[in-house]
Structure 1
């Protein structure tokens, strides 16, 4: 159980929510863990199998508290909303921003600021932790280039200009990504990003983890009342969850790339976990997917201190926290969207 931004997160799988005198009561078996006034909450995000009582659902509708249900793995299921709390104002503002590049630009700048900052920090941490095993000079050059591009973001005057800087940063970052791989270089190497299909084990691993991350971001956006398909930087396409792609940009380096590197560098993922198809594509085997998913769930339980909120949260809550901050910014509660800057 965690309370952030007037939002209650229910994280235990065997927790049940009920109502007592306008309070949400958190129960685990016969024990009462907490009793929180509904008037003090804007939303409840429940990751429990047991769910909530009908009486609590009705009270949430009455008090205007959004109650959203997720599987313990993070997949969004549904939300309970009152007639006066259907998020139409929030979504209308989101659609207005999505349709106006000049309004979308500050949000896109924040997303890419987070992405480049966190990419640079991935490089810096590898240089610091494995100084004797890596090409320090090359990593220093990459870090310095990313810092220059980070500074250039402030002067962007259009989304297209922003995309250009983001493309340069991605090229520079991935140009030295191979230096960050420290184990079994015969099979785990990186020359360039290949996606459809991935052509080597490292790309296959990254693609699979990106899918997991995007799913978490889409679920988080659903849960706070935003439309994952109306993006600010990624263009709208049928079936493309553009806003979830926007939000995941800042989280790719620290939550996905770093995780993939850790799996390889610690030997958790090995070459035996991949299969090569007839068309040359490389995919994780069933055993490989299970291994990654098991490690992913463990990773999501590890805690960090959120740099903006100055609160300890788990890595698994990070997409939901950023979605909440994004919703608050769109509503006007925050002056600007604060990207997650890994430290």
Structure 2
């Protein structure tokens, strides 16, 4: 076990030696040794002893607390951070100089568009009936990829964002066709998610974002200072940067969940315009995510270490 998902009401979490003791309505239900854990995902009305937080921090075990209503993270404990401050000095310089940001941003958009194209090609192999929309979108993405490869000196971040936006429009126009009409998935809409597919995407992106935050902490980078996403109050822009190329991967996982009927309409309900996944649906989602998240987490750490090396070189090359 590396991840522990706790999703229930009236849960108590206490420290019992080198383990977490779990209580439900005051009755002990079991325990989990701390040495087995890398992260905990907590949802629902739970009470934690303060000693639990100290034990998690001491052992670099991450904790993310999800809102019970909108699947967004309300609190995070990311674990220990790398001690090399030089990396952050280079990161700060990069975040305010377009000449340093743009090459990184161009590479990020190129990788994301390539990932979107890969998913559509995989979908085409499974859905020959959608050849026309999938092929059309893939052709558009190929054209954007070619433009990104040729324009190595991208003139501005706004140009890159325009290309990313054009790619997203073409991609989602085709991606929405992969789902059954009764799911009412017509495009990405997150505040609040109005349909089962958007509910899954929101939860998946939240979990992926936390893994990106954790990757930033591990390599000693400031999560708030990105190179593609601008500085914005309360937003962990670097974590947003790191997870962008993995969004299409998450999209593919959500498609697989519905295609293989792991998730179905009965796993969702609607409350005042918001689509909510029930407990059975969440359990299935968590289990599916955990079997596949290892590769995504390794990739996020690889991105993080690559950035850390680059930021260090930026600082060392300063005038």
Shorter-chain TM-score: what band? 0.7 to 0.9
- Residues 195/120 of structure 1: CA separation in 2 closer, same or farther (3 Å cut): same
Which protein has the bigger helix share?
A: 2
Q: 2:35 aligns with which of 35, 50, 55?
A: 50
Q: How does 1:121-270 map to 2 (within 5 A)?
A: 121-131=118-128, 134-154=129-149, 155=151, 156-181=154-179, 185-254=180-249, 256-270=250-264
Distance in structure 2 (CA, Å) of the matches to 1:99 and 1:144: 35
1:157 Cα deviation from its structure 2 partner: 1.1
Distance in structure 2 (CA, Å) of the matches to 1:249 and 1:79: 24
Note the aligned Cα RMSD (angstroms). Answer: 2.4
Q: 1:92 aligns with which of 89, 92, 98?
A: 89
The secondary structure found in structure 1 opposite 2:80 is strand
- Residues 71/220 of structure 1: CA separation in 2 closer, same or farther (3 Å cut): same
Distance in structure 2 (CA, Å) of the matches to 1:270 and 1:165: 34
- Residues 176/275 of structure 1: CA separation in 2 closer, same or farther (3 Å cut): same
Whether contact under 8 Å (1:232, 1:246) holds in the other structure is: yes
In the other structure, the counterpart of 1:328 is 309
1:247 Cα deviation from its structure 2 partner: 0.9
In the other structure, the counterpart of 1:70 is 61
The secondary structure found in structure 1 opposite 2:191 is coil
The secondary structure found in structure 2 opposite 1:50 is helix
1:198 Cα deviation from its structure 2 partner: 1.1
1:236 Cα deviation from its structure 2 partner: 1.2
Cα deviation, 1:253-298, whole Å, max 9, x if unaligned, reads 02x10110011100011111112112x1212223322221111111
Distance in structure 2 (CA, Å) of the matches to 1:276 and 1:172: 29
Cα deviation, 1:284-341, whole Å, max 9, x if unaligned, reads 223322221111111225xxxxxxxxxxxx34422222212222222239xxxxxxxx
Distance in structure 1 (CA, Å) of the matches to 2:269 and 2:198: 13
Distance in structure 2 (CA, Å) of the matches to 1:78 and 1:269: 32
- Give ranges in structure 1 of 5+ residues lacking alignment: 1-10, 14-47, 52-66, 302-313, 334-343
- Give ranges in structure 2 of 5+ residues lacking alignment: 4-32, 37-57, 65-75, 315-319
Distance in structure 1 (CA, Å) of the matches to 2:291 and 2:244: 22
The secondary structure found in structure 1 opposite 2:234 is coil
- Residues 199/103 of structure 1: CA separation in 2 closer, same or farther (3 Å cut): same
Distance in structure 2 (CA, Å) of the matches to 1:124 and 1:293: 26
Aligned length: 250
In the other structure, the counterpart of 1:306 is none
1:68 Cα deviation from its structure 2 partner: 8.1
User: Relative CO higher for 1 or 2, CA cutoff 8 Å, sep ≥ 6?
Assistant: 2
The secondary structure found in structure 1 opposite 2:79 is strand
In the other structure, the counterpart of 2:266 is 272
1:76 Cα deviation from its structure 2 partner: 5.5
Distance in structure 2 (CA, Å) of the matches to 1:295 and 1:210: 14
In the other structure, the counterpart of 1:297 is 290
TM-score scaled by length of structure 1? 0.67
The secondary structure found in structure 2 opposite 1:187 is helix
